[in-house]
């Protein structure tokens, strides 16, 4: 049920975002809402002994300087419908709808050290050229790789790390 609820609310919000030409903005805001709404905050806004008016006042106090009125209203609808407990799932679903709508592929890039902006840009361009669509990269540092990078994209692993090259050399020498 949670999945169906999250999908329905996320789709409704995405349609509103499209109508207002705010898909990018809403995506960033939904990510921020997910980060800032911890379990205690969600429990507070779902507590049966706190009135809906008090919960809505809390939404206003926390978000009024940050969110546009449409998103404030959306959060208050979640309060009215007793659906705020699904906020993280709604945020995740919104992101998935966005990714699908704009044909974005997500990649996870592992490197032994921090990549500079030029390296990130060149890698992203190469991946976009190879896959012929927009790529979003999440960068993670893994010192055990020694050198090089490993990219996980869709069901594919592109491994150009020193560890992988050493494994290949070792396997070739055993034959």
Please write the tens of the pLDDT for every residue from 78-101.
999 999 999 999 999 999 999 999
Confidence check: pLDDT of 124 > 70:
yes
Mean per-residue pLDDT for 156-166?
75
Full DSSP string of 65-113? TTS-HHHHHHHHHHHHTT-GGGHHHHHHHHHHHHHHHTTEEEEEEEESS
Mean per-residue pLDDT for 133-155?
86
Could you tell me how many residues make up the chain?
175
CB atoms within 10 A of CB 6: 21
**pTM of the predicted model as reported, rounded to 2 decimal places:** 0.77
**What is the residue whose two structure tokens read 């509103």?**
16
User: What domains does the chain contain, in order, with CATH numbers?
Assistant: 2-100 (1.10.520.20), 104-174 (no CATH)
What are the tens digits of pLDDT across the range 17-60?
999 999 999 999 999 999 988 899 999 899 999 999 999 999 99
Mean per-residue pLDDT for 59-70?
89
Among residues 90, 85, 74, the alpha carbon closest in space to that of 45 is found at 85
CB 9 within 8 A of CB 73: no
Query: What is the phi-psi region of residue 105: left when phi exceeds 0, alpha when psi lies from -120 to 50, beta otherwise?
Result: beta
Give the three-class secondary structure for 115: coil
| Average per-residue pLDDT for the chain | 89
Give the three-class secondary structure for 150: strand
What share of the chain has pLDDT > 70, as a percent? 95
């Amino acid at each position: 049920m949670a999945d169906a609820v999250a999908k329905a609310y996320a789709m409704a919000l995405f349609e509103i975002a499209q109508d207002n030409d705010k898909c990018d903005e809403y995506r960033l805001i939904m990510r921020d809402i997910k980060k800032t709404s911890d379990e205690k905050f969600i429990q507070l806004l779902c507590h049966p002994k706190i009135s809906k008016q008090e919960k809505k006042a809390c939404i206003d106090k926390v978000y009024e300087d940050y969110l546009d009125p449409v998103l404030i209203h959306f959060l208050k609808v979640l309060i009215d419908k007793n659906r705020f407990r699904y906020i993280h799932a709604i945020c995740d679903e919104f992101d998935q709808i966005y990714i699908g709508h704009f044909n974005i592929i997500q990649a996870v890039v592992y490197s032994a050290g921090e990549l500079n902006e030029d390296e990130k840009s060149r890698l992203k361009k190469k991946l976009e050229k190879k896959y012929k669509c927009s790529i979003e990269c999440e960068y993670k540092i893994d010192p055990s790789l020694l050198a090089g990078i490993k990219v996980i994209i869709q069901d594919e692993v592109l491994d150009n790390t020193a560890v992988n090259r050493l494994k290949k050399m070792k396997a070739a020498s055993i034959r």
